[in-house]
Amino acid sequence: MTVPSTLPATLTTSLPGDIELRVSAEPVPYRAALEEMTSRNAQIAAGEARELIWLLEHPPVYTAGTSADLTELLDPRFEVVEAGRGGRYTYHGPGQRVAYVLLDLRKRARDARGFVHGLEGWVIDTLTDFGVESFRSEGRIGIWTQDVDGREAKIGAIGVRIRKWVTMHGFAVNIRPDLSHFTGIVPCGIDEFGVTSLSRLGREVDFATWDEALIARAPAFLAALDRPCPTEKPA
């Protein structure tokens, strides 16, 4: 049985495959979202709840993944929360759209690597709708693009956890956050590259517009999870 949520008001609908789509209207504290995700993950694994894709925004917070290095926490000006996901330190805050993706991989052909590849592709494809070319970078987790100074910069972060083949956490895309908030950490342990946003790139996009584009591409993302993970061609 699904426990009624005590989180801020949300808009709830469905995606293909009877997946619940939840869009929170107000910022959700990170600890509350983590508790909700953990509970829902267990319910999905037990066959007691529907899969969930949850779009939301957090108040400012630094989250620590399982590989976080304390030396990369430069200025803990905001609350620091151990997230339980893979990866290192990440910032979440106003102006950043977060998507938590709780899917049962037992129903799909993809493995963990394929799931992450699919998430990356979903964000990359959606960014093209706003005229932003982005890409994966070998050895660097996340979604990358060319910044206004011509250097590569991160526009989206990826971090997942899989428990009993049910996923949790997901990705965050910088729509219009205060980029100075990222200077309190070494984002994802990569200090030689910066972070950017749609706003910094000259694209003024509100959450509703971003969500509409992302949701429109959700069926293709979900369909891709039913196919074997693509492999690199030999050189």
pLDDT band at 109 (very low <50, low <70, confident <90, very high): confident
CB 218 within 8 A of CB 53: yes
Instruction: List the catalytic residue out of 53, 101, 143, 188.
Output: 188
How far is Cα 72 from Cα 97, in angstroms, rounded to an integer? 23
For tokens 């107000």, name the residue.
26
> According to the annotation, is 53 in a ligand binding site?
no
Domains and CATH numbers, the chain: 10-224 (3.30.930.10)
The gap from C-alpha 73 to its chain's centroid, in whole angstroms, comes to: 21
Q: Is the pLDDT of residue 232 over 70?
A: no
> According to the annotation, is 126 in a ligand binding site?
no
> According to the annotation, is 117 in a ligand binding site?
no
Q: Is the pLDDT of residue 105 over 90?
A: yes
Q: Is the pLDDT of residue 13 over 80?
A: yes
Poorest-confidence range of 3-17, 51-65, 72-86?
3-17
Poorest-confidence range of 10-19, 34-43, 174-183?
10-19
> According to the annotation, is 91 in a ligand binding site?
yes
> What residues does 195 pair with on adjacent strands?
154
> According to the annotation, is 17 in a ligand binding site?
no
Q: What is the pLDDT of residues 111-149, one digit of tens each?
A: 888 999 999 999 999 999 999 999 998 878 899 999 999
Q: What is the mean pLDDT of residues 12-19?
A: 88
Please give the single-letter amino acid code of residue 223: A
Closest CA to 176 of 91, 61, 59, 94: 94
Q: Is the pLDDT of residue 233 over 50?
A: no
Model pLDDT, residue 187: 72
Q: What is the mean pLDDT of residues 27-50?
A: 97
- Provide the token pair at 120: 């990356």
Q: What is the pLDDT of residues 66-92, one digit of tens each?
A: 888 898 899 999 999 999 888 889 999
Model pLDDT, residue 190: 59
Q: Residue 124, class by beta-carbon neighbours within 10 Å (0-12 exposed, 13-18 middle, 19+ buried)?
A: buried
> According to the annotation, is 30 in a ligand binding site?
no
10 Å Cβ neighbour count for 204? Answer: 11
User: pTM for the complete prediction?
Assistant: 0.90
The yes-or-no answer on residue 229 being catalytic is no
Q: Is the pLDDT of residue 46 over 90?
A: yes
> According to the annotation, is 139 in a ligand binding site?
no
> According to the annotation, is 89 in a ligand binding site?
yes
% of the chain surpassing 90 pLDDT:
73
Q: What is the pLDDT of residues 212-221, one digit of tens each?
A: 999 999 999 9
> According to the annotation, is 176 in a ligand binding site?
no
